[in-house]
Structures are given as C-alpha cells and as structure tokens.
Amino acid sequence: MRTDQRRILIVRPSALGDVCRSVAVLWSLREAFPDATIDWVVEDRWADAVRGHPAVNEVIEFPKRRFRGALWNPVVGMEAISWFARLSVRRYDTVIDAQGLARSALMSLCTRAPTRIASKPSLEFAWIAANVRVEADPSMHVVDRMLGLVEAAGAKARPNMRLVATPRDIDSCRALRDRVGIAGRYIVVAAANRWEGKRWKSERWRAALAELSGDLQRAGVTAVCWIGGPGEDHEVAGSIPDGREVAAIVHHNLAGMMTVGETMALVASSSLVISLDSAPAHMAVGFGVPVIALFGASKPETDGPYGHLAWCLHGGRGERLEARGHRAAAQGTAMMDRIEVAALVSMVRRRLDSEGMA
C-alpha cells in the first residue's frame, strides 16, 4: 500500500451527524500526510459542517436534492453527469468511501483513483466499487469502523473528533443571541427529529425541563436554547414548558432560525447539550461540550456520541433491533416511550454535578 498519497478524497455526503463525526478520518489523514491535498464530498446543505475545517483543502458540494430529478429532467440529468465526470479530472490517488452507500460508491468509482477504500460488508453492495475492502465488525462504533479505513490508507487512526466553527458563523450566531436576548450561560436542547421513531413525547420534554428549572438556575444557567431544522418550530414549541413553570430560566425557540454553521457555533459556546439521536449530540462531542443523548431503536454503542456512552439513555436496551430500526416508527416510538422523565432528570443532575455546575 502506498503511503505517499498526494491527493486524497473523503466521500461522506450525509447525514449531518455522520459528517460531524467523520472528522476523525480527516484529522488522521492530515496528521499522516501533512502536505497532501485532502478534499471532502459532502451534501450541499451540510457543507458548513466542514467548510472551515483547517485540515480540509476543498469541500466539494453534492446537490443531492436537485439531482433527484435527474431521470426525468434532461437539464438536471446533464448537470449530474457533469458533476460526476468532474471527479475524475481531479486525479485523486486515494478515495475513502466513509458512507458505504450506492451513491458514494459511484462517486468513488467515477474518480478512477488507483486506490479506492471501503468497508465490507456495506449497504447497497457499495464495497463492489472499492479495490481495497476493509472487513468491518458491525458491533463496533461507526467512528472506529471509519478509522479502519484510514489505517488501510496507510495512516494511523486518531480518534480526534474536534470540529471547527468559522469566524463568520461565530459572529453571526453571536448577533442572533444578542437579537433574541440570550446572555450568560445557556444549554441547548435538540428535541426535534425528522424520524418519528427517534422522537420523545412533547409532554415529557415539558415535564423534564420544568422539573430541572431549579437545578439549572443553581448551575448559573439563564437560558435554554431549543433548536431544530426548518419546519420544526411547531414541534419544538410543543416541547417547551410553560413560562410559569420555569421561574428565571428563559426558553428560546430557535428552530429553523439558524444555518448549520450557526448551530455549530451555538453548540460550541453552550454549557450542556441534551439531544435526541441527532447531529447536535455529535456536535457537542466535536466541541468538547457535555452531552446527554436519548436513544430508542438506534444503539448508542455503535451510533451514539463517541466516547460518551455513559451519558446515553437507551429505551431499546436489551431488545433485538431491526435493520435501520430508527426508520421503523412503531418500534422506535415504543422504545423511546420507555425513557421516563425521571431518568432524564436524574442524568442531567448527575451531569451537572460531574461538570462542577450543580
């Protein structure tokens, strides 16, 4: 295996949480090959997560949603063909397919790189496009499986999860906080999720945060920032406790108000992140922020915030999960329902105590 790569491509288009936790691949490659050109293919809507990262040379944006119309729209079809064709022009020496799906395999193949690395087995037979296939233990955490790909490229695996928010996003986030009146210490709550089977009931969020009001005040917290994507503001609003229940703690519904980069900056300056099985949990790890995560059908052991298994509540513990179980709404909802309000309240109190905030 060559160890003098000069042009390397990481293929990890989505989803946002997966992009955030794939930075360990980037850091490992940069440390091993400090003079290499290292680019990253990422879905355009998640590009802010790695755009300002000091270890990446260029972010190649993949317009996945636009290309969905490629089969019935000739103009879009030609755009897609041109996009994939341009990958070969870049003359990469090594491609690491950290996604392991058909579309990432196609990207890897289109580069015509002499070394194309992927995990085996992988979904949608993506490993077929690779000529270096790394046996992956599905019981391992996804970050550790990706680091196995790095070692196949001749680099030493470094589980460095550090994310970087750009100065522009930091300034923009600060302006937003000033505009809505967020001052002092705050925590972030990510209570929305597009997958029904990953959600926790709104009334439980309300009860938990109401009960924690006094604990947060004693920890010096003055605000709770509730975040979510576009169109999730109503879902988030239903989870926020009544103002009469939370005393001096001010709750802000910021769902749909921030870009990915601004969300990263908000998380980076927070004191605690409480999240469903979603990207903010992995952002917290990347910025060294204490995190608590709620899991149902997904396994924290393989998909949770890396290195923070002790701070995960798992309603599906001990039960056999379906493949891609998070997409099975009924199964996931039943598992999430096993997480009691008292369990989250207790874990938050222990976390505040462990961080010297109690």
Scanning the structure block, which residue is given the tokens 């470094």? 158
Backbone torsions φ then ψ of 305, nearest 5 degrees? -60, 120
With vertex at residue 354, the alpha carbon angle to CA 353 and CA 357, rounded to the nearest 5 degrees, is 45
CATH of domain 167-354: 3.40.50.2000
**Strand boundaries in 233-290, DSSP class E:** 250-253, 273-276
Exposed (0-12), middle (13-18) or buried (19+): which is 334, by Cβ within 10 Å? middle
Rounded CA gap, 27 and 177, in Å? 31
| Beta strand 273-276 pairing with 250-253 | unpaired
Q: Which residues of the chain have pLDDT under 50?
A: 1-3
Q: Residues with Cβ < 8 Å from 287, sequence gap 6 or more?
A: 162, 163, 165, 264, 267, 268
Query: What is the model's pTM?
Result: 0.95
**DSSP secondary-structure letter at 248?**
T
Rounded CA gap, 109 and 213, in Å? 53
Looking from the CA of 170 toward its CB, the CA atoms found within 13 Å total 8
Backbone torsions φ then ψ of 103, nearest 5 degrees? -70, -35
Q: Evaluate whether 7-152 and 167-354 have a shared fold.
A: yes
C-alpha dihedral (289, 294, 295, 300), degrees to nearest 10: 30
Q: Extract the tokens encoding 232.
A: 């999730």
Q: Residues with Cβ < 8 Å from 253, sequence gap 6 or more?
A: 226, 233, 236, 237, 240
pLDDT attached to residue 1: 42
CATH of domain 7-152: 3.40.50.2000
pLDDT attached to residue 330: 86
Domain ranges across the chain: 7-152, 167-354
Q: Residues with Cβ < 8 Å from 173, sequence gap 6 or more?
A: 165, 258, 262, 265, 266, 269
Give SS3 for 240.
coil
> What angle do the packed helices 260-268 and 279-286 form, to 10 degrees?
50
DSSP one-letter string for 52-86: T-TT-SEEEEE-HHHHTTTTT-HHHHHHHHHHHHH
What pLDDT, in 10s, does the model give residues 58-90? 999 999 999 998 889 999 999 999 999 999 999
Rounded CA gap, 32 and 178, in Å? 41
Kind and range of the H or E run holding 25: helix 23-32
Hey, how many other C-beta atoms are within 10 angstroms of the C-beta on 17? 21
Kind and range of the H or E run holding 120: strand 115-120
Q: Please, what's the largest Cα pairwise distance for the chain?
A: 64
The partner residues of 293 in beta bridges, in order of sequence, read 275, 312
pLDDT attached to residue 245: 65
pLDDT attached to residue 125: 87
